[in-house]
Amino acid sequence: MREISALQEERLKYRPKLAGILKNGIKNIDVELKGKTSAVKDKEEINKLFSNIYGKELIHFISSDKEQTFDVKNVGVILSGGQAPGGHNVIAGLYDALKQANPKNELYGFLGGPSGIVDGKYIKFTDDFINQYRNTGGFDIIGSGRTKLETEEQFQSVWVQCKKLNINAIVIIGGDDSNTNACMLAQWLDEKNTGIQVIGCPKTIDGDLKNDQIEISFGFDTATKTYAELVGNIQRDANSAKKYWHFIKLMGRSATHVALEVALQTQPNITLISEEVEQKKMSLQSIVDYVTDIVVKRAEMGKNFGIALIPEGLIEFIPEMKVMISELNDILAVVENDNASASKEEKYALIEAKMSANSANVFKSLPELIKAQLMMDRDPHGNVQVSKIETEKLLIEMVSQKLEALKAQGKYNGKFSAQSHFFGYEGRCAAPSNFDADYCYSLGYNAFALIQFGFTGYLSCIKNLTKPASEWAAMGVPLTMMMNMEKRHGKMKPVIQKALVEINGPVFKELEKNRENWALNDKYIFPGAIQYFGPADVCDITTQTLILEQKEAVKC
């Protein structure tokens, strides 16, 4: 047994609540099929690429009076991509359902992500081993990785490893890219008549894997509550010291669900939303002006402090920055290859000379710190790693310069002292909230139900999540239903469509109607730590995002 804290010891004893019909046990459910489906976009292309698994029905699990008996089925499980709270409970739910169905069933965990199943690195789960990880954060039970399953050679290796272990099905726990790979693997295995099933589970703290069927990805609830606690603590400090502006960058490169949810939980003075910036075609300078205006107004009220939330991916949503970075990606390789010995200033000059006039002006306007970050740390494809750009420091620098100019004109007489923060890894492996512990356990249990009834190419789905767990619905959603075609590395590829923040949606509208009030009047909320023990209205609450979206769905 691993050494554990007193809290973890108590959490190991927690019995997750199972979704609705699943609580009757794996042997007492049946299936109901509810109509054929199609892709969200690019239907013809997706149908052609996934002809064996395209257009399948939605699956609803229902109660059965007749107790089922099941043959032996061995299952392999993979954790794919970045960590998210609750992953261990998905595996625990899968394991418990599998053993309930037939004690001779075996669950194999492939080590280090998708590469584990390609290379044949695995462990076989036992009661004693899995019991050490129930209701805990992290993916350390088998580790994770970002290897993509997409080549013929990889698929062949997967088949070989499954035959060696007599594996009948594979569960891939991951985000949109990981479940895109699950869809491709399901198609290949079905095409080859291997009889091996593939089921996905929706994971990502970013909250961008959702649609009409998938209400929320697991981990989002815990991660946002963790970040909200930290932001609340900083707000309390700011409101006590009354002398610092805190610029806080929050994880979420492709969408701003995390920052938006944290804002609704804590009510900071400023919240920037990347999708709004893009839709309104806001320039970097207009963002700086917006932030500066609030700083000045608060200073006039004697408040030289405040909180600003900044999404990790903001830079990529600012139109002129997006164009400039695209040009920079093409220019950098040439400049660095041909001018390896050039000084930093000489490289800047060469880059500006090769850029369009607008992009050159944007590049020149950036602080030295950001220029240096743009010049280094490129990804394997040679592109700037935008997530590593310290946007919070960029805004602090530019707001500071604007305030100095206003002070010189006699239009500002306050004090601006700023602190920068980035909250990302702090939330990815937190101990799952009761909501995520229950939700993830149900997702894993439900994944085995899909396997037991012979389905492949499906995503495990639990719905009605704003209701008590006893009323949650257990379903299966065809992976092809969520697919569309997008350009990746210059080629059109099938991918699961990301869900961005909807500017006309109920969650953003809630922020929008309160922004002005929160900007000037300190309406800070201090959520405190995640609570695991106590009344349900404290311990089992879910996110504002889910509550608002489901309320809107009911109205519609």
Alpha helices (H) in 79-213, listed in sequence order: 87-101, 114-119, 127-130, 152-165, 176-191
Active-site option among 176, 177, 190, 206:
206
| Count of Cβ atoms closer than 10 Å to residue 512 Cβ | 13
The Cα 172–Cα 198 span in angstroms is 7
Is 293 among the residues known to form the active site? no
The Cα 10–Cα 3 span in angstroms is 13
Ramachandran region of residue 493, left (φ > 0), alpha (ψ -120 to 50) or beta?
Answer: beta
Contacts of 435 (CB under 8 A, 6+ apart): 221, 222, 465, 540, 541, 542
What b/e readout covers 187-224, taking b as 16+ CB neighbours within 10 angstroms? bbbbeeebebbbbbbbbbbbbbbbeebbbbbbbbbbbb
Residue 189, token pair as written in the block: 């295995």
Q: In what order do the strands lie in the sheet with 418-423?
A: 270-271, 306-311, 245-250, 418-423
The Cα 412–Cα 61 span in angstroms is 63
Residue 112, token pair as written in the block: 């280090």
| Count of Cβ atoms closer than 10 Å to residue 183 Cβ | 29
Ramachandran region of residue 217, left (φ > 0), alpha (ψ -120 to 50) or beta?
Answer: beta
> Residue 364 — φ and ψ, nearest 5°?
-60, -35
Q: Cite the active site residues.
A: 206
